[in-house]
Structure 1
Amino acid sequence: MRTSTIRHSLYATTLVFAFAAIPFGQVAAQDAGARMQQSSENQTVPDKAADAWITTKVKSEFGTTKGIPATDISVSTHDGVVTLSGTVASQAQKEHAERVAQRVKGVKSVDASGLTVGGTPPAEK
């Protein structure tokens, strides 16, 4: 009988500690998420300089490449990923702009989902 009481007490204590630990786990997960977001917002100076250089180089390439309406395409870069937005006259121009941007040294990938063919550019959210 005494062993049963001790066993029940141990189970109860274990449950109390287990349920008490859940909020701490949630806080730790939130902190980890906040740190990840903060690290992406806090690029180092060399990373920002590299991104600025890539953006400038892509814009320069657009300006000197025949068949790309450089003034109609906006370029931004974050962590080596170039984002293109604006409007081009044809699918061929869009693909050409993607290829030109991809060839720039330091570009990891090109996101041209904001680059529309004809019509108006996508609305900003």
Structure 2
Amino acid sequence: MNHATIRKALFAAALVTGLGAVPFAQVSAQDSAAKTSDNQTVPGKADDAWITTKVKSEFATKKAVHGSDISVTTTEGVVALTGSVTTAKEKTNAEKIAKAVKGVKSVDASGLTVAPAADAK
């Protein structure tokens, strides 16, 4: 394995560990039978947190997407992608990767804009 692959694998592991622990810790502190103000159950929020974390980690490990410029939010299984990508192909790849994650009902990439990177080679 080369250094870039190892670095990406370590980054993905850290991302999953770091981002995965926070939402679940917050959710477990709440009463699992309680409803939130947006009418989504706590188990549903935990599922959404897992989906968000999984999509972000998939972006981190794929060369086809530069996930650091993409924000991911999930509500009731619907993933919303916002931010910027450098090409239309990268936007399409981001949508495909997000749709492939287990539990994703649909992907809204309308907030994802195509803007060439300032440091493009």
TM-score normalised according to structure 2 size = 0.65
Matched, 1:85 2:82: yes
- Larger helix proportion, structure 1 or 2? 1
Aligned length: 83
TM-score if structure 1 supplies the norm length? 0.63
Q: Which residue of structure 1 aligns with residue 45 of structure 2?
A: 48
What is the aligned counterpart of 2:59 among 59, 62, 71? 62
Q: Which has the larger radius of gyration?
A: 1
Cα deviation for residue 39 of structure 1 reads 7.6
Q: Runs ≥4 in structure 1, deviation > 2 angstroms?
A: none
Q: Give distance in 1, aligned partners of 2:104 and 2:62.
A: 18
Does 2:107 correspond to 1:110?
yes
> Residues 41-96 of structure 1, C-alpha deviation per residue, up to 9 Å, x if partnerless?
03111000000000000000000011211100000000000000000000000000
CA RMSD of aligned residues (A): 2.0
CA contact under 8 A between 2:78 and 2:108: conserved in structure 1?
yes
67-76 or 38-47, larger mean C-alpha shift: 38-47
Instruction: For structure 2, list consecutive stretches of 5 or more residues without a partner in the other structure.
Output: 1-34, 117-121
